Structure 1
Amino acid sequence: MSVVVDNSWNALADKAIDGQCLTMEEGLAVLEADNDELLPLMQASFLVRKHYFGKKVKLNMIINAKSGLCPEDCGYCSQSIVSSAPIEKYSLLDKDTLLAGAREALARQAGTYCIVASGRGPTERELNQVVEAVKEIRETMPLKICACLGILKEGQAERLAEAGVHRYNHNLNTSRTNYPSITSTHTYDQRVDTVEKAKSAGMSPCSGVIIGMNETDQEIVELAFALRALDADSIPINFLNAIPGTPLGKATPVLPLKALKVLALFRLICPTKEIRVAGGREVNLRSLQPLTLYAANSLFVGDYLTTEGQDIQADYQFIEDLGFEIEQYAI
């Protein structure tokens, strides 16, 4: 039974707005709350969300700029070397294709365009291609650019920042304790180091999680604490979309009510940050997707890397039906 009940959820909201961090016990109480407490819990997370972000919703769009061909062994990923999933594989897209993706992001009312490439990290040739595309996008379109290119070497973060990349994404994905069970070809600390490189270069740090990879509730709370300590400005919350052919392909989906509790937890522990509902929302949250916006203030629209997203008109519809408003961004 949860140690926090009834109107006491609002006390956690007050604590978050006051700048205080939840304790481990309070975080676990959120995740372990009785399902009958879900609506009061979501209301408490909404009080925090509304305090900092009103009823605005930020939209983001991903382009899979390089697919497959990855030497890493991440157990959740259809693009990894250990995956047998039948995905499309191609090298880094040319500049014209990346520019066309940016125009599509604008058409979808996305304020942030996310250029994502598979692999351990960018080669100099790949970095040059991204830099040239970003420069032209920044000169011609009112978009924020987020790059997600893997582990960065010395000097690469600075080049991306100089080109005009606003944000760099490198997810922690799972807890330090759980990390070795997910991948062996790089470490948790290497991911933290890349986020710190992005921060040092002046880019906004974006780092998030994938829920549903056999982590414990305590590890989920530890992840929220870690991202608060890392001071990530944007936190994508992915829910594992278990893809056949990957080591985690038979994982049990996250239950919709548990997914909502996770979002509430991250809002209460990281109250001032952009909480982004990301990959896997369609298959894990299903009909409860609209409720995510009571905690989150940001959505990915369109397809993900190798999986399809929800029809964008359905996203627009539930944003409107809830009385929320898409945030328009202009540089």
Structure 2
Amino acid sequence: MNKTTATYTDWQRLARKALNGGCLTKEEGLSVLEAEDDEVLPILHAAFAVRKHYYGKKVKLNMIINAKSGLCPEDCGYCSQSIVSTAPIKKYTLLDKETLLAGAREAMARKAGTYCIVAAGRGPTNKELDQVVDAVKAIRATMPLKICACLGILKDDQAERLADAGVHRYNHNLNTSRANYPSITTTHTYDQRVETVEKAKKQGMSPCSGVIIGMGETNEEIVEMAHALRELDADSIPVNFLNAIPGTPLEQAGRTPAMKVLKVLALFRLVCPAKEIRVAGGREVNLRSLQPLSLYAANSLFVGDYLTTEGQDAASDHQIIEDLGFEIELCAL
């Protein structure tokens, strides 16, 4: 297939291939990303056939709490909390147990099934891990929520403690391709991120790892990212789209066109057919009025704010889901 000859039949063939356990080739993946914009609806139709097979019309909601803001020694070029950022953000140490519990209650009020405790930094100190473990145990004892932790690079014993406390999922994004990684971050490596995901898997936590689109990567590299996450066997894949924050090294990066966003989400669905594909950070900025279409490929989204940027209000997300005729999937522990 190529940009000028791909047809509805071609996209349906890719859907059948995904449903039959096959993996899209690099060329097939590129055909999705490089298709004419007129092909977006047929591509989404193919992606939806796969999404519907595994998830029906259900949508999983996730809510983030920024449990520790700023004060990070890493130099990630996209992040307002990094040491190289001059963005005027709130900076604070790890939130106390009661604040984390209040966040969990808010997640339930927003109909989220997964509560994501995220802390800036290279990795947690033992004291910080104690605080998170204490809060997780209290949440698990009182609320029917799945808990995802995102605390940076983990040591083996730290991963074991989180799993023992009841953390269901650990998030550590690959963010970009292996080749592009040094242009985004120099204070840690791509392989260190892969190793942390593997440590979480080893302890029985569900692996969550995703990407940020719009950081100078090529279409070929986007396909490579999708294949890398398939190989990593990530259960949950947040697909973020750069929201360029003033004061960060990537502040001049442009937004990803909405039609490209939809092609990327369809690609990830077709490459990782049975996995939770989450349209994540930057969806409001990059998709704008086309946000509802994302759920024909993705089956999950973040509800509420992100780390240092605002999301749209939960009621608007609930309305999108209702208007599509879809259904919020409530947590089932």
Q: What is the TM-score normalised by the length of structure 1?
A: 0.99
Q: Partner of 1:297 in structure 2?
A: 299
How far 1:8 sits from its partner (Å)? 1.3
What percent of counterpart residues are identical? 78
Q: Would you say the 8 A contact 1:16–1:269 is kept in 2? A: yes
User: Is 1:11 aligned with 2:13?
Assistant: yes
Q: Partner of 1:109 in structure 2?
A: 111
How far 1:330 sits from its partner (Å)? 2.9
Q: Partner of 2:94 in structure 1?
A: 92
Deviation per CA, 1:194-231: give whole Å up to 9, x if none. 00000001000000000000000000000000000000
Deviation per CA, 1:25-80: give whole Å up to 9, x if none. 00000000111111000000000000000000000000000000000000000000
User: Which whole-Å CA distance do the structure 2 matches of 1:155 and 1:249 have between them?
Assistant: 37
User: Which whole-Å CA distance do the structure 1 matches of 2:52 and 2:245 have between them?
Assistant: 35
Secondary structure, counterpart of 1:252 in structure 2: coil
Unaligned runs of 5+ in 1: none
User: Is 1:23 aligned with 2:49?
Assistant: no
User: Which whole-Å CA distance do the structure 2 matches of 1:313 and 1:136 have between them?
Assistant: 28
Secondary structure, counterpart of 1:64 in structure 2: strand
1:148 to 147, 150, 153: 150
Secondary structure, counterpart of 1:155 in structure 2: helix
How far 1:153 sits from its partner (Å)? 1.3
Q: CA RMSD in A?
A: 0.6
2:240 to 235, 238, 241: 238
Q: Partner of 1:66 in structure 2?
A: 68
Q: Partner of 2:256 in structure 1?
A: 254
User: Which whole-Å CA distance do the structure 1 matches of 2:232 and 2:80 have between them?
Assistant: 28
Unaligned runs of 5+ in 2: none
Q: Partner of 1:81 in structure 2?
A: 83
How far 1:119 sits from its partner (Å)? 0.2
Deviation per CA, 1:80-105: give whole Å up to 9, x if none. 00000000000000000000000000
Q: Would you say the 8 A contact 1:4–1:26 is kept in 2? A: no
Secondary structure, counterpart of 1:119 in structure 2: coil
User: Which whole-Å CA distance do the structure 2 matches of 1:193 and 1:83 have between them?
Assistant: 26
Secondary structure, counterpart of 1:114 in structure 2: strand
Q: Partner of 2:274 in structure 1?
A: 272
User: Which whole-Å CA distance do the structure 2 matches of 1:130 and 1:190 have between them?
Assistant: 22
Q: Would you say the 8 A contact 1:121–1:151 is kept in 2? A: yes
Deviation per CA, 1:259-306: give whole Å up to 9, x if none. 000000000000000001110000000000000000000010000000
User: Which whole-Å CA distance do the structure 2 matches of 1:112 and 1:22 have between them?
Assistant: 30
Q: What is the TM-score normalised by the length of structure 2?
A: 0.99
How far 1:312 sits from its partner (Å)? 1.2
Q: Partner of 2:216 in structure 1?
A: 214
Q: Partner of 2:34 in structure 1?
A: 32
The equivalences for 1:176-191 within 5 A come to 176-191=178-193
Q: Partner of 1:168 in structure 2?
A: 170
User: Is 1:56 aligned with 2:71?
Assistant: no
Q: Partner of 1:327 in structure 2?
A: 329
The equivalences for 1:188-199 within 5 A come to 188-199=190-201
Secondary structure, counterpart of 2:8 in structure 1: coil
How far 1:7 sits from its partner (Å)? 2.0
Which amino acid is 2:167 matched to? Answer: V
Q: Would you say the 8 A contact 1:62–1:304 is kept in 2? A: yes
Q: Would you say the 8 A contact 1:28–1:221 is kept in 2? A: yes
How far 1:313 sits from its partner (Å)? 1.2
How far 1:311 sits from its partner (Å)? 1.5
Secondary structure, counterpart of 1:65 in structure 2: strand
The equivalences for 1:275-286 within 5 A come to 275-286=277-288
Which amino acid is 2:261 matched to? Answer: A
User: Which whole-Å CA distance do the structure 1 matches of 2:277 and 2:77 have between them?
Assistant: 24
